């Protein structure tokens, strides 16, 4: 049996969960990676109210859908970030502009995520961790090594009690390596694992779209972090450096054709997904391939259906026989 093909509900949280599930089924998906915003999943309710959990499960069951992961990206960002006004849109309105109260709320919510996942029968929580040092990514004004060291120490301090709760519930956290995170590329991801002493609670939600425009070969990330690949996002991106545009985006909005790179619907960008599937086969990854659909230049319903078909067409398993095993004399 091939890996299940799911869709992340985060970009569809403007729709009621029931309506979104109906669409996802019509597009051909096997399940949902449920985002914890909009009305899709309330973490506190899912952690403390089994009746609410059954209601969510029944909605999925009604459409023949399953869930293998829940997504906590917006909440997790608030755990590790140094506050700026953008975080206000991720939190209850009464917390807006209150940095320490936001962090306290986010840590509490992430602890709920562990119990919520367990109640849903889910083993993986995907998301972001935030970063107190992302504003230092370019070393001017000069960034000292101590500032970077302190930033990683802060992340360990903030997330250790969350991961303790995850361990109690038998759940793992899959960080999406992503700009504005404590781990945003190959070497920052490597360091994060070391800072947490390779704690098994922490792994990665592999997403190639955030790696390719940084010049990283996505399939090699899978090869080198094989033991930490807990979940997989299928998302494409196109790099279009034309002599004017650069990889930093020029503060142009996503979808602007002048940008040096843009997210694209699957099959419309530059990512070599066949190499990714072959690497996933090599590490024996059997979890879901979750479409995170983002393309500002395409109708999302057209794109989501096409993306589902794309993943199913490339979702091949390894051979169970060597092709040359018959090439021998009797």
**Mean pLDDT per segment of 10 residues, for the chain of length 330 residues?**
92 98 98 98 98 98 98 98 96 97 98 98 98 95 97 98 98 98 98 98 98 98 98 98 95 96 98 98 98 97 98 91 66
Q: Can you give the pLDDT at residue 246?
A: 95
Residue pair 253/220 in contact (Cβ under 8 Å)? The answer is no
* Cα distance between residue 21 and residue 63, in whole Å: 7
How many Å apart are CA 219 and CA 277, to the nearest integer? 8
Strand-pair category, 66-71 with 202-206: unpaired
pLDDT of amino acid 317:
87
Name the residue with tokens 């107190």.
Answer: 132
Domains, in order of start, for the chain: 5-314 (3.20.20.150)
**Residue 103 confidence (pLDDT):** 98
Supply the pLDDT for residue 320. 80
Using an 8 Å Cβ cutoff, are 305 and 312 in contact? no
* Alpha carbons 66 and 56: distance in angstroms, whole number: 11
- DSSP β-bridge partners for residue 203: 174
Peptide bond into 176 cis (omega under 30): no
Distance of CA 295 to the CA centre of its chain: 16
Is there a contact between 182 and 130 (Cβ–Cβ < 8 Å)?
Answer: yes
The pLDDT of residue 2 is: 84
Alpha-carbon 207 to chain mean position: 7
Measured N-to-C along each axis, helices 186-195 and 145-168 cross at an angle, to the nearest 10 degrees, of 60
CA–CA gap between residue 262 and residue 256 (Å, rounded):
8
Q: What does the alpha-carbon distance between residue 164 and residue 230 come to, in Å, rounded to a whole number? A: 18
Predicted local confidence at residue 82, as pLDDT: 96
**Between vectors from CA 6 to CA 216 and to CA 212, what angle results, nearest 5°?**
10
Residue whose C-alpha is closest to residue 126's, from 160, 92, 171, 176: 176
DSSP for 177-238? --TTSS--SHHHHHHHHHHTTT-TTEEEEE-THHHHTTT--HHHHHHHTGGGEEEEEE-EEE
Strands 202-206 and 229-234, sheet pairing: parallel
Provide the 8-state DSSP code for 69: E
CA pair distance 318, 283, nearest whole angstrom:
11
Contact 162, 79 (CB under 8 A): yes
As a dihedral over the C-alpha atoms of residue 60, residue 10, residue 238, residue 316, rounded to 10 degrees, the angle is -20
Q: Give the number of other CB atoms < 10 A from CB of residue 163.
A: 21
Question: Which residues are paired to 31 by β-bridges?
Answer: 6, 66
pLDDT of residue 198: 98
Let me know: does 34 contact 45? Beta carbons within 8 Å: no
Q: 197 CB contacts (<8 Å, ≥6 apart)?
A: none
């Amino acid at each position: 049996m091939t890996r299940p093909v799911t869709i992340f509900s985060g970009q569809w949280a403007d729709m009621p969960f029931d309506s979104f599930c109906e669409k996802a089924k019509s597009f051909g998906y096997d399940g949902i990676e449920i985002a914890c915003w909009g009305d899709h999943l309330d973490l506190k309710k899912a952690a403390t109210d089994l009746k609410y959990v059954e209601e969510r499960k029944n909605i999925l069951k009604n459409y023949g859908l399953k869930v293998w992961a829940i997504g906590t990206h917006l909440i997790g960002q608030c755990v590790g970030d140094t506050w700026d006004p953008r975080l206000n849109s991720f939190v209850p309105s009464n917390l807006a502009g209150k940095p320490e109260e936001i962090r306290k709320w986010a840590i509490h919510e992430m602890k709920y995520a562990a119990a919520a996942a367990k109640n849903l029968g889910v083993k993986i929580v995907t998301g972001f961790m935030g970063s107190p040092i992302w504003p230092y990514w370019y070393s001017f004004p000069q960034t000292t090594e101590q500032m970077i060291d302190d930033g990683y120490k802060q992340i360990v301090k903030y997330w250790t009690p969350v991961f303790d709760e995850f361990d109690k519930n038998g759940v793992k956290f899959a960080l999406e390596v992503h700009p504005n995170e404590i781990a945003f590329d190959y070497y920052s991801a490597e360091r994060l694992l070391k800072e947490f002493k390779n704690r098994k609670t922490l792994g990665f939600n592999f997403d190639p779209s955030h790696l390719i425009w940084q010049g990283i070969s996505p399939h090699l990330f899978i090869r080198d972090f094989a033991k930490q690949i807990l979940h997989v996002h299928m998302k494409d991106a196109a790099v279009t450096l034309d002599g004017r545009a650069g990889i930093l985006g020029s503060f142009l909005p996503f979808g602007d054709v002048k940008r040096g790179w843009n997210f694209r619907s699957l099959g419309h960008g530059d990512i070599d997904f066949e190499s990714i599937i072959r690497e996933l086969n090599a590490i024996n990854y059997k979890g879901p391939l979750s479409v995170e659909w983002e393309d500002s230049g395409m109708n999302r319903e057209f794109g989501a259906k096409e993306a589902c078909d794309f993943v199913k067409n490339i979702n091949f398993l390894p051979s169970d026989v060597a092709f040359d095993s018959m090439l021998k004399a009797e």
